[in-house]
Amino acid sequence: MWIIRISLDLYGDNFSPRKALTEITDTIHISCSIEPDDLNDKDPSGVYGFGSLSILSPQVYGLQYEMAEYEEWYFSFIDKYKPVFDKYGVKEINLFFDVFDNGGQLNFEILSRELLKKVGQYEIAIPISVYRLTTGQIVDMLSETTISQEKLRQYVEDPN
């Protein structure tokens, strides 16, 4: 069993997430937001000097064998808000894939052929991290989402 969490990560030296978010009306989850002038005690200048924003879709996780709509959400969001990203200084876009599985052989396809074309169009990087978790840990992660208990039960019981 596996699930994926995709994070849309936006970066730019002059990117202001605070300003960009005033024009984003879709429901999203924000996992991290940094303004260029935010304090950073690890940098000699005392500030970050760049802006970044990490966005998760309303669904948060994509389920094994049910990835198409989940992945499409990110590209629809990028298509819709690319002018906003440009307006507020986004210079780099990453789709960071966190893969959580409970062991065994792991086979999956990242993005459809159509979506891969958009990766090139927007010059998106795709970093990937894989985490080995127990089935219980994965269930706990999914329990914190809007996935119904019935769907969660069926997902866990599916031998595929």
Task: Give the position of tokens 């966005």.
Answer: 55
Give residue 22's pLDDT band: very low, low, confident or very high (50, 70, 90).
Answer: very high
- Token pair, residue 88, equals 């507020």
Q: Which of 2-6, 59-63, 93-97, 106-110 has the lowest mean pLDDT?
A: 106-110
Could you tell me which of 43, 58, 66, 50 has the C-alpha nearest to residue 13? Answer: 50
Q: Give yes or no for residue 106 having a pLDDT over 60.
A: yes
Q: Where are the domains of the chain?
A: 2-111
Backbone φ and ψ of 70, nearest 5°: -60, -50
Instruction: Give the model confidence (pLDDT) of 126-160 as tens digits.
Output: 999 999 999 889 988 988 888 888 888 777 776 55
CA angle 153/5/117 to nearest 5° reads: 120
| Residue 36, pLDDT score | 80
Q: For 69-91, what is the mean pLDDT?
A: 96
Instruction: Give the model confidence (pLDDT) of 30-79 as tens digits.
Output: 999 988 877 777 777 788 888 999 999 999 999 888 889 999 999 999 99
Contacts of 20 (CB under 8 A, 6+ apart): 10, 53, 81, 84, 85, 87, 88, 90
| Residue 153, pLDDT score | 79
Domain 2-111 falls under CATH 3.30.70:
yes
Side chain identity at 63, as an amino acid letter? Answer: L
